[in-house]
Structure 1
Amino acid sequence: MRVVDIINKKKKGEALTKEEIEFFVQGYVKGEVPDYQISALYMAIYFQGMNDEEIADLTMAYVNSGETIDLSGIAGIKVDKHSTGGVGDKISLIVIPLVASLGIPVAKMSGRGLGHTGGTIDKLEAIPGFRTALSAEEFIANVNNHGMAVVGQTANLTPADKLTYALRDVTGTVDSIPLIASSIMSKKIASGADAIVLDVKVGSGAFMKSLAEAKKLAECMVQIGKSLKRRTIAIITDMNQPLGHEVGNANEIREVIDVLRGKGAEDETGIALTIASYMAIASGGYHDFRSTYEELQQVISSGKAIEKLEELISSQGGNPQVVHDLFQLPQAEYHIEIFSNQAGYIRAIDAEQIGLAAMLLGAGRKKKDDAIDYAAGVTLLKKVGDYVDLNEPLCILHTNLDHVETDILKAYAFQESVPNVTATIHEVVS
């Protein structure tokens, strides 16, 4: 078997066999297939696409390229959740204690962020003492004893995906639906999930800019799950403005606490309850969306959700007092108000522009090995649909830098009349 023959076959639009896919993936990981051949093959895939069987085979080839996590020591159906990424997206930290409060085990493996703000692991490490580097034994014991645990991704999980993603990034093939879908799903399957709920973001602050693109990606990932016998549900949610009011790390933890106390922003509370409800349904223990949603609302109003968050923090070595005293979280030295340069209704907030401002303040990484300032971030005082007077504060920048320049005002667009506010949840694909 030769890779050049596989390239020519895909160039003509023909379907690749499982053996051919395994051959080039394993060969690339072992260093036997050069970058230029994988680049040529992925460009052929970009233009010719892949059928459902090919995408499922590529997903499993990524899974089989490294370690897999064995969660058989945890009783029950393990449901994982993945977001395609956005600005102010702290939904994972809300749904973990919510779903665990229903008695459904949540064994969550998450990553660090590269870009706007930290990932789920970075946000949790803003809590003093919180440990995300658990051994496999500790991880499984915590899920069995507390119903939940969160750890960082192991370096040996899906190495083929890591290698090919870096190559796609520099060869213009990142935005290929088959390659995106297999990349995401391979990590979820290698992490040991029995069922998967996907939060597919769409809009200015998301990777998928149009609803049609987002729906295509959602359908593709759900089909992969079906092919590999994992129950998979995708929820397409809006990212045309940042989610909630906080963008950063420690300040997003503060907002997680607000949501679980029943005092959170309407948009992220609704998305979190929706995703948590579908996670419960994916576990097989719940069947009706409306009644599950209402039960989760009761979990919040009863105080059980915030108690579960406190239990998560304590079980992983963190200071649980942050739940009661937000000043236990890292605090920035400077808090800079940004004032509106015009009056009117906010028509749009460019989520990506807000995210870039947060990164410049220290909340994110430009390079993989950059340090994060947990205290840095942005607080949005106004959202789309709000009226703002001239010179009224729009947002607050939190930073420990004594000098910082951002173009954050460019993120805001105004109009004289009340704008239409986009729905936060667009569609459910199952």
Structure 2
Amino acid sequence: GSGAFMKEIEEAFKLARIMVEIGVQAGREVIAVLSDMDQPLGCTVGNALEVKEAVATLQGQGPPDLEELSLTLAAYMLVLGEKAPTLTAAHSQVEEMLRSGAGWQKFREMVAAQGGDVAYLDDPGKYRCAELQVPVLAGETGYVMAIDAEKVGLAAMRLGSGREKAGDKIDHSVGVVLCKKRGDQVAAGESLAILHANDSYRLAAARDLLLSSYHIGTQPPSLKPLIMGVVTRDGEQRWA
């Protein structure tokens, strides 16, 4: 998809097969899961914003697509680690860990073990917020047909969440929060996204880029599966 390293599906499967073969030749079991990157995963792009979203997901309150992909990857890891006999059993295990709060508590333990301050996990409001939080409004009524994930990432970078060149300072508080995603209905004047910024000049450039990433149509689009395929040493499965 637009936000992926390999933007065409056949090229993505080709790379996946190569990576799996490298692992197999090194004596490792490897599974490659191909997921849709034709729009951002979840609803946030930016450092602190994404941490807050990850915390919400571990607490069972995250975006459905981020939760689905996280559960899928965790389930495959259990199968690879021989902690579950089947993918179905593994998925049940990780879902129970999420619903019970065990996954969240383990994450807190991991952060503490590495010297992190878990107070920021228990209260994400402790993170510094951007001074400016400005909505990007839809110019027309319709359905979100597509979101160019690469442009959204570039918009976040323009705000300062990433480096345009070596030596640039990263601003951990800035980024993008998506209010509408592919398939959502939107009215003219309604918020497509919220830009979190600390610089009005950067804000203007990011706004134009973000607005151009949205494509609005009159009919709802056909939705693609989030998990597009899986490649293993025995072959591949495709759902898109």
Q: TM-score range by the shorter chain?
A: over 0.9
What is the aligned-residue RMSD (CA, Å)? 1.0
Task: Identify which of 208, 217, 220 aligns with 2:15.
Answer: 217
Structure 2 equivalent of residue 342 of structure 1: 140
Deviation at 1:208, TM superposition (A): 0.6
Of structures 1 and 2, the one scoring higher in RCO (CA 8 A, sep 6+) is 2
CA–CA separation in structure 1 for the residues paired with 2:167 and 2:29: 36
Deviation at 1:341, TM superposition (A): 0.6
Task: Identify which of 207, 214, 230 aligns with 1:412.
Answer: 214
- TM-score w.r.t. the length of structure 1 is 0.52
Task: Identify which of 63, 78, 81 aligns with 1:265.
Answer: 63
Segments of structure 2 that go 5 or more residues without pairing to the other structure are: 233-240
Structure 2 equivalent of residue 230 of structure 1: 28
Structure 2 equivalent of residue 131 of structure 1: none
Matched to 1:320, the amino acid is V
- Asked if 1:429 is matched to 2:231, the reply is yes
- Secondary structure at the counterpart of residue 151 of structure 2: helix
Structure 2 equivalent of residue 104 of structure 1: none
Task: Identify which of 151, 154, 164 aligns with 1:353.
Answer: 151
Matched to 1:326, the amino acid is P
- Asked if 1:384 is matched to 2:186, the reply is no
Structure 2 equivalent of residue 306 of structure 1: 104
Deviation at 1:363, TM superposition (A): 0.3
Structure 2 equivalent of residue 25 of structure 1: none
- TM-score w.r.t. the length of structure 2 is 0.92
Structure 2 equivalent of residue 281 of structure 1: 79
Matched to 1:292, the amino acid is A
Structure 1 residues 230 and 368: CA distance shift in structure 2, 3 A: farther
Deviation at 1:319, TM superposition (A): 1.6
Structure 2 equivalent of residue 208 of structure 1: 6
CA–CA separation in structure 1 for the residues paired with 2:187 and 2:56: 27
* Pairing 1:24-423 to 2, within 5 Å after superposition: 203-404=1-202, 405-406=205-206, 407-423=209-225
CA–CA separation in structure 1 for the residues paired with 2:179 and 2:106: 29
- Secondary structure at the counterpart of residue 24 of structure 2: helix
- Secondary structure at the counterpart of residue 232 of structure 1: coil
Deviation at 1:422, TM superposition (A): 1.4
CA–CA separation in structure 2 for the residues paired with 1:229 and 1:315: 30
Matched to 1:290, the amino acid is T
Deviation at 1:306, TM superposition (A): 1.3
* Matched length: 228
Matched to 1:331, the amino acid is C
CA–CA separation in structure 1 for the residues paired with 2:168 and 2:5: 22
- Secondary structure at the counterpart of residue 61 of structure 2: coil
Deviation at 1:210, TM superposition (A): 1.1
Deviations 1:87-125 (A, max 9, x none): xxxxxxxxxxxxxxxxxxxxxxxxxxxxxxxxxxxxxxx
Deviation at 1:403, TM superposition (A): 2.5
- Secondary structure at the counterpart of residue 362 of structure 1: helix
Deviations 1:17-73 (A, max 9, x none): xxxxxxxxxxxxxxxxxxxxxxxxxxxxxxxxxxxxxxxxxxxxxxxxxxxxxxxxx
Deviation at 1:228, TM superposition (A): 1.2
CA–CA separation in structure 2 for the residues paired with 1:367 and 1:244: 26
